[in-house]
Chains A and B, each alone.
Chain A
Amino acid sequence: MLDQLVGLSMLGVATVVFTYYSTWVFILPFVNDSNIINQFFLPRQYAIIIPLLLLLIGGVGVASFIANVMIKEAQKKKLKSKKD
């Protein structure tokens, strides 16, 4: 039951992100400034800043995970050689 909820929420988040970003990039340049749809969207510079920032944070996360695993492995190796 819980994993189905997780799967459904992943699907929902992905759909929302895709539609929001596509509207932001493709549709917003063509609407007037007086249209009310503009109030749902941030200024267009953020359409570049936010994904790049998220990519950077994701990259840092991946790199720190790899570094963590390597450190743990080195520690285990040192412990093993000290035990022998």
Chain B
Amino acid sequence: MTKATEALLTVFAISSIYFGIYAKVIPTPEIFYNEILPFLPLWAIVSLGAYSLAVLGYRVLTFKDKPEKYKELLGQIDEAKAFYKSKGIDLDE
């Protein structure tokens, strides 16, 4: 099963539970139904964005930088550019 199929299955399962609660097939307390349920999808999107931002921020914070690795990366980029130019593909600059 591919990652995409797995993700789609998860989304489908969770949204089916959500629609079950929304259509009152699954009984819930009144205050939960009126006050919280309408906000849940948007809350999921907001927390996904916050989680992504947090993971990015943490990885930027704990990045171990080394100057020689930077030079090595620059050398690899130049090597790749020369390779493509030799093969005839023009990379715009």
A residues with a Cβ closer than 8 A to B are: 3-4, 6-15, 17-18, 21-22, 25-26, 29-30, 44, 47-48, 51-52, 55, 76
**Among residues 29 to 63 in chain B, which have CB atoms less than 8 Å away from a CB atom of chain A?**
31, 35-36, 38-40, 42-43, 45-47, 49-51, 53-54, 56-63
15 contacts between A and B (CB under 8 A): A7-B58, A10-B53, A11-B57, A14-B50, A14-B51, A14-B57, A17-B49, A21-B50, A22-B43, A25-B39, A25-B43, A29-B36, A47-B42, A51-B42, A51-B46
| Category for how many chain B residues contact A | 20 to 34
Nearest chain A CB to B63 CB, angstrom units? 7
Partner of B47 from A3, A6, A9, A22 at Cβ < 8 Å: A22
B92 at the interface (CB under 8 A from A): yes
